[in-house]
Structure 1
């Protein structure tokens, strides 16, 4: 028996050395009733901003105050929100509401796959730690986070701030950290709570939420010793830097393995002195497979060991492991210029194949603020299922739950949308003052229709509609196509241009005359973001599919570039309006098969 134990120990040590797995810790767990099912919730892209944060040097600013507590509020402007792909302020109420929902559902394991704060500022990281600590202590919940490209913005702490906070009168003002140039030249309010923290500070503050061992964990390990790896200049092997990585594997409940993958890649700009880093926003797994090869090897070993030890394994990270545009990437590239419509964020076929070949079968991602499921077949008779978890801070706000069957090794994935959120409109009065202030001072203003939103679901939809005009059309869309959309009012105008309006069926003709170009454009983004949860009627979905079928079989003239763009976009919408999976589906975790 002693020899067998010694042999087992030697084999295990050899395996760890071979794959450089470090920081492995096992804990003696008292016997308990065997659990057959475990639920895990996934809350992505919270982008938490602490509207109740206390700042220095704001006595003369005239901050707005909370109606109930009279506490000063640190609120960012509605104008800024309508130029951002995420909300900043209402997220605070939404996050607490979702956590309360999870308490009611008796869910104890909660995963945060990145962008849990809005740029990793001390005030926001500390607020997250306080909130998670409260729910952990009060309700016995466990939280497992992994950083996104907004937490941290760069691998190491940097001076930072924001220019769009609101006074009680609706005027914008800036707050920056002391080492920022705006503070050094005395151009703003200064507070180090607005710097952008790096890995060291964020992981230390959130150490209890996945970034350190817990007394009840059965297993805890990290792929890199001290969570660091060496990155060297490809042109100078002696020019190297130690870079952080937050990945870990944890077994919080016997039989359940949660693999957190830090897919952030901040490429050093070796030519700069002092050294600077690229942002991670468009890097993702396309960059990771070359930048972190050891991490890929570790993923393979974890998958292999989970099968050998009969563990139920699911992985999560901030970035997608599969494409998220319903196989419409070719058409999108023909319409949108390189770098637009988030196309650089789509994993390449090479990337998805390498990730699928690790043997991993289920992965939850964030980053894209949309709902989607991608299936990637590997060369090893298995399938990788990549689940895109929607953001809590954008349309269509939702979270996911995976119910794991530890006996059958299956996962039932469900989607839970958010519509009614208490407090979502508490700041609308302040936004009204902001609108009036901007009008009085002849500043660019926002559409105040959003302040008539009757639910959080409607609010996020109106936010998306605002982004279409304020950001997307200006940044992403071809100018000639935007001009056509501004000059034409219904889809029937396009068919008239193509000289085939009289060729469509009577039912389709009614739709072409009824659907305005503005409505069609909004539907395009509703489908892109919401997928199966989008606020699009079944009839509308069928109409867009019928339009695509008609164009594919017709002799309509598509001589101009604009006509060709529109035909491509209808084809894209036909793909968006279908969905591979519903809101609820099951995955065989051994094979990745949808069952």
Structure 2
């Protein structure tokens, strides 16, 4: 049996504008919001279908969804997304098993959502479920209940066909509370940090045996911890968002789930069942040990806030679940955690709305788990929103270079460059380094590595002016900005990113990393910080196999399947 594991479809219906209707007005989100986001919006409409079509072509019938099926849990979006999966189930016999992500629901009562939609003249309209939301610079505001994101009571029944409740054909079904699948039987008390506020919350974890011998352990790692104080339980601000909490909050707030996981793993082993676990959030550090370097270089980033601590990974490994699939971060990664005889492999599944666009195919082969990463580069209709983006860009006098993309994968690669420009550099990088990035090239870095004098970012231009122009190979003219974009490509894609980066660039990066690593730099100087930046890139190049590999289910050893003949799909500029 083969299983497809997908994550973070973030499905958005570009044919339907909430509060207006289908076909009455454009339902395309703005390019400005897309460029500033960690994901694209409009492209999910065709990308999700292309993904499912690929699964059907391969003859796979069981599909695991590791969270964030919907754009942001909006009521009408949930209806459209579940209708799409129901259509594939009806036409092709696909069986979906899912867990809820942080974008699918919010606590018990849900929360408001507000989105900007393009008009045909390039202006935008704000559609919101919140009557108090200001119109901002939109030309119009529409208030619609269809924009509201539901809580557990609304979202889980909407996705109920995906294993959240017992199905007639299931060979086994249970949850941490027993075999009663009613939501009211799956509630628990969650307490604020000061111990004074107690809420009733639902846990939507479940175990299902859809086919003989296969146990799918679906863990609800969403944690909505109440904030201190007597706050209105119906309001979003009354809870700590699960987005950054994830597994770090599980031992404290949902320890009963870890106890249940341990019991399930023991029973699976005793009964000879193949157990695969998945949740929306990574359970092991997805940065493969480079978190300390990232903290040193960039301080507080969204990746670091969402990185599970070692104690959490240790507790998870002690349950004996062995293999866990995750989504959330939109990255392609394999991480292994060992603690004595305990071990755990976390396989991070990419998204079709973030670089790189891919999913995983899993096959049991004796005592090994075989994993294949499938890139979906070509998506029919990938450019459906491009005409609207060009009109918007002309109106706002901004760049629409992303619309020059040749296919969906190229679009996402270009989008990543825009994210670096509009999000990562201005919001996550220290100001002095962010200011240097657009002004330096690799030749400048080579000269900075060649001096024994430690420099500050402010000294860099004075030094470079005095150092003169180098007699150097062509690669030295490559802008540092391009290297930073490739840094993020490797950070998100690992092995898969090599399909999108010219091998000559990789050789240049290795050369520079070696030059900086050979220096003895005082901590905190410019060269020391650049050395950390490059060392992280080298660590990702040498990280555990993340493309096509196998996991020894007895030892946790991860073995790569050589991917020979790799070619660059496209070397993307970032103009």
User: Normalised by the size of structure 1, how large is the TM-score?
Assistant: 0.84
Residue 42 (structure 1) aligned with residue 2 (structure 2): no
Residue 573 (structure 1) aligned with residue 537 (structure 2): yes
Q: Quickly say closer, same or farther: Cα 1:233–1:528, change in 2 above 3 A.
A: closer
Structure number with greater Rg is 1
Q: Who is 2:571 aligned against?
A: none
Does 243-252 or 327-336 show the bigger shift? Answer: 327-336
Any conservation in 1 of the 2:445–2:512 contact (CA below 8 Å)? Answer: no
Any conservation in 2 of the 1:174–1:189 contact (CA below 8 Å)? Answer: yes
Does 261-270 or 152-161 show the bigger shift? Answer: 152-161
1:135-163, CA deviations, whole angstroms, 9 ceiling, x for partnerless residues? 1122111101111111114442223322x
Any conservation in 1 of the 2:279–2:325 contact (CA below 8 Å)? Answer: yes
Residue 77 (structure 1) aligned with residue 61 (structure 2): no
1:539-587, CA deviations, whole angstroms, 9 ceiling, x for partnerless residues? 43344334333333346x6687322211110111111222311511111
Residue 232 (structure 1) aligned with residue 191 (structure 2): yes
For structure 2, the 5+ residue unaligned runs are 179-184, 453-469, 560-575
Does 193-202 or 225-234 show the bigger shift? Answer: 225-234
Residue 327 (structure 1) aligned with residue 286 (structure 2): no
1:449-481, CA deviations, whole angstroms, 9 ceiling, x for partnerless residues? 111111101100111001111111000001111
* Deviation (angstroms), 1:485: 2.0
1:563 to 527, 547, 555: 527
Q: Who is 1:522 aligned against?
A: 485
Could you list the structure 1 runs, at least 4 aligned residues long, displaced by more than 4 angstroms after superposition: 178-183, 233-237, 557-560
Any conservation in 2 of the 1:45–1:114 contact (CA below 8 Å)? Answer: yes
**Separation in structure 2 between the aligned mates of residue 267 and residue 582 of structure 1, nearest angstrom:** 33
Residue 393 (structure 1) aligned with residue 393 (structure 2): no
Residue 353 (structure 1) aligned with residue 314 (structure 2): yes
Superposition map of 1:376-387 within 5 A: 376-379=337-340, 381-387=341-347
Q: Who is 2:384 aligned against?
A: 426
Count of residue pairs the alignment pairs up: 528
* Deviation (angstroms), 1:213: 1.1
Residue 370 (structure 1) aligned with residue 331 (structure 2): yes
Residue 496 (structure 1) aligned with residue 447 (structure 2): yes
Any conservation in 2 of the 1:401–1:414 contact (CA below 8 Å)? Answer: yes
Q: Who is 1:3 aligned against?
A: none
Give the secondary-structure state (helix, strand or coil) at the position aligned to 2:208: strand
Give the secondary-structure state (helix, strand or coil) at the position aligned to 1:258: strand
Q: Quickly say closer, same or farther: Cα 1:212–1:179, change in 2 above 3 A.
A: farther
2:423 to 471, 477, 486: 471
User: Normalised by the size of structure 2, how large is the TM-score?
Assistant: 0.87
Residue 453 (structure 1) aligned with residue 405 (structure 2): yes
Residue 336 (structure 1) aligned with residue 298 (structure 2): yes
1:157-196, CA deviations, whole angstroms, 9 ceiling, x for partnerless residues? 223322x10112121111112655459xx97212211011
2:260 to 272, 295, 298: 298
Q: Quickly say closer, same or farther: Cα 1:594–1:499, change in 2 above 3 A.
A: closer
Q: Quickly say closer, same or farther: Cα 1:498–1:550, change in 2 above 3 A.
A: closer
Residue 403 (structure 1) aligned with residue 363 (structure 2): yes
Any conservation in 1 of the 2:449–2:516 contact (CA below 8 Å)? Answer: no
Give the secondary-structure state (helix, strand or coil) at the position aligned to 2:276: strand
